[in-house]
Amino acid sequence: MSSIRSLIQEYSMYSLYFAPRGKERLLYLGEQISHRHMKFDDKLIGIIGDAGSGKSSLIQGMFPGLELTNNDDTLDTHKIMQVRDFGRDFSCATTFHIDMRFQMAFTQMHEIIDFVNGALEHGRRVVVEHFNLLFPALKIPADVMIGIGEEILVVRPNVFGPLPENIYTVVHTSLQYRKMAHTAEDVTIQLLEGEFGVDRKHFFSSDIKNGFLLRFTEAVDVDLDKLAGRVSQRLAEHLPVRYHDENHIMIGDSLMYCTGPRLHVRNTSEVTDFNLLPEFIRDEKTDTYCLVGILRHAEKDAAKLNSFEFTTSDLL
């Protein structure tokens, strides 16, 4: 039965998920990815994506209790230097975490390679952030690779690929769209709450490719043409967007609540080709009214906003 399960997993070329904003949603999605795509004997896990994309939260969701060598606010030098513990006892943990960008600043590549090989030989799991930086020297494919940009890409590579650098190219290119969408979303929410007097308790954030959804639990009287014009004006004001704390950002001089405070462009002027659909879209399944914001090519047919455009050639 286990061999049949392994064979079935090999049939999967890749899986795609929306990359949500907010730590709680990333933690939950990480848990789901672990249940759906991980096997007990997967030992080398490659995580690929740029800073601020949500890698740490995703890892914590996939591996609850795993102590990371670093997060957004702290750096554990003891964990960083674990690769130089030549008298190391691999029985002290079942899973180890390495962030290659930090690790390479403190240790040599051959030390990292020796540590990873030693952990794998002892049957331990190693979770490697920025796996694309390790692979050229390690030359061992990960059992599972997870790339996070605008979307989360889960692949189980084989002898034919894909290579980590291919995954990085895909997620690095798309991350900017995710940052733009989230910045436009926060500007829209700021205007809805301020100038249009809509209480946040009446809507919640959701996801769509190349944009965002605000799902309203009841019909609201909002002039969407006027709102779209004000959003465009606000974005054109060249306002700086800054992290304030884990629950807030600054847009210009205004403080606002945000569930993803690290995932924004640096200035509102960096949001380009943004559009609001001119009407609310009724979603019968969730009993909500959707306010839709999209980037790049504005799709006239709302039913095609999630059209699948990702192809295998992107990974080859």
pTM: 0.85
The whole-number pLDDT of residue 76 equals 73
Q: What is the spatial distance between Cα 157 and Cα 242, in angstroms, rounded to a whole number?
A: 38
Q: What is the pLDDT of residue 70?
A: 76
**Exposed/middle/buried for residue 282 (C-beta within 10 Å: 0-12, 13-18, 19+):** exposed
What's the confidence (pLDDT) of residue 159?
81
Residue ranges and CATH numbers for the domains of the chain are: 12-162 (3.40.50.300), 176-299 (3.30.980.10)
- Condensed to tens digits (0 to 9), the pLDDT of residues 122-135 reads 999 999 999 999 99
Catalogue the long-range contacts made by 116-121 (C-beta closer than 8 Å, 24 or more residues apart): 116/44, 118/88, 118/90, 119/90, 120/43, 120/44
Q: Which parts of the chain register pLDDT below 70?
A: 1-11, 71-74, 86-87, 89, 297-316
The amino acid present at 13, given as its one-letter code, is M
Interaxial angle between packed helices 164-194 and 224-235, expressed in degrees from 0 to 180 and rounded to the nearest 10 = 120
Residue-level pLDDT at 120:
95
Contact predicate 280/291, CB 8 Å: yes
Question: Terminal CA-to-CA distance of the chain, rounded, Å?
Answer: 32
> SS3 breakdown of the chain: % helix, strand, coil, rounded to 5?
40, 25, 35
